[in-house]
């Protein structure tokens, strides 16, 4: 039986960590939909045309190991404003969402556009400063040399582009449960997400 959990929110709010933990807890499959836009963005950095790159995207492309860099993140948020790019990625996400055995999808428009009928919708937020602090630490641990200010600027720019675009802007679905992780430990945020899901199962 299909059971879809949609988890949306801005960059570095903790969606990835929460989604993985929730998927593991319930034994569901997990799709980080940002990887789709990152894979298309990465192709455009190599000179590809974004719509053609989105239409040609294969599941294996999501496993490329160069997708987590700040350059690719910026390129992803630029291709993500193009309606034809978004349209080309819908079927893959919807098929994943309705697979047997349950699915967790995290992104920006899962509860609003991709899976408006998801059984559970969470909207995960945190202040821009908290998110930049977390992302800066994460990048530094991987050997990144970006300053905190540069990471904060990147978070703010992507928030602006994601929430102001005309097609599928970042916003909570009307029926989403909001979780602000600014003052929550990872464990407390996971517990809050699991409790919200249990209440709807
Ligand atoms: O979540 P992540 O940081 O990997 O996403 C990269 C970019 O892809 C986001 O800034 C956003 O512009 C775009 N995106 C989107 N819709 C999604 C997931 C990601 O527009 N469902």
pLDDT digits (tens, 9 = 90+) for 139-175: 999 998 999 999 999 999 999 999 999 999 999 999 9
CATH number of the structural domain spanning residue 93: 3.40.50.300
The β-bridge partners of 154 are none
Q: What are phi and psi of 100, to 5 degrees?
A: -65, 145
Q: pLDDT band for 88, please (50, 70, 90 cuts).
A: very high
The residue length of the chain stands at 201
> Is the model's pLDDT at 20 over the cut of 90?
yes
Nearest CA to ligand 1 atom 11: 77
Is the entire prediction scored with pTM above 0.90? yes
Q: Please provide the average confidence, as pLDDT, over all residues in the chain.
A: 96
Atom in ligand 1 nearest the alpha carbon of residue 93: 21
For the Cβ of 105 lying below 6 angstroms from any atom of ligand 1, the answer is no
Q: Is 159 in the pocket of ligand 1 (CB under 6 A)?
A: no
Range of the domain at 151: 4-200
Taking Cα atoms as reference points, which of 28, 32, 33, 19 lies closest to residue 189? Answer: 19
| pLDDT at 119 (0 to 100) | 97
Assembly ipTM = 0.98
Q: Distance (Å, rounded) from C-alpha 43 to C-alpha 195?
A: 39
Task: Tell how far the Cα of 43 is from the centroid of ligand 1, in angstroms.
Answer: 15
- Total domain count for the chain? 1
What pLDDT is attached to residue 77? 92
The pick from 75, 105, 108 for probing ligand 1's pocket by mutation, whose C-beta has the most ligand atoms within 8 angstroms, reads: 108
Task: Please compute Rg for the chain using Cα positions.
Answer: 16
């Amino acid at each position: 039986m299909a059971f879809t959990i949609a988890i949306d929110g801005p960059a570095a709010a903790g969606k990835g960590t929460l989604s993985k933990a929730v998927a593991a807890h319930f034994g569901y499959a997990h799709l980080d939909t940002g990887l789709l836009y990152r894979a298309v963005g990465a192709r455009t950095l190599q000179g590809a045309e974004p719509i053609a790159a989105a239409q040609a995207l294969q599941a294996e492309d999501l496993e490329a190991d160069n997708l987590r860099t700040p350059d690719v993140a910026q390129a992803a948020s630029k291709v993500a404003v193009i309606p034809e790019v978004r349209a080309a990625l819908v079927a893959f996400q919807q098929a994943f969402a309705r697979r047997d055995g349950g699915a967790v999808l995290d992104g920006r428009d899962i509860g609003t556009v991709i899976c408006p009928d998801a059984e559970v919708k969470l909207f995960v937020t945190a202040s821009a400063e908290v998110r930049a602090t977390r992302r800066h630490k994460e990048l530094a641990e991987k050997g990144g040399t970006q300053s905190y200010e540069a990471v904060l600027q990147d978070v703010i720019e992507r928030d602006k582009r994601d929430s102001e675009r005309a097609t599928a802007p970042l916003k909570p679905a009307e029926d989403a449960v909001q979780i602000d992780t600014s003052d929550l430990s990872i464990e407390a945020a996971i517990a809050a997400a699991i409790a919200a899901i249990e209440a709807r199962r």
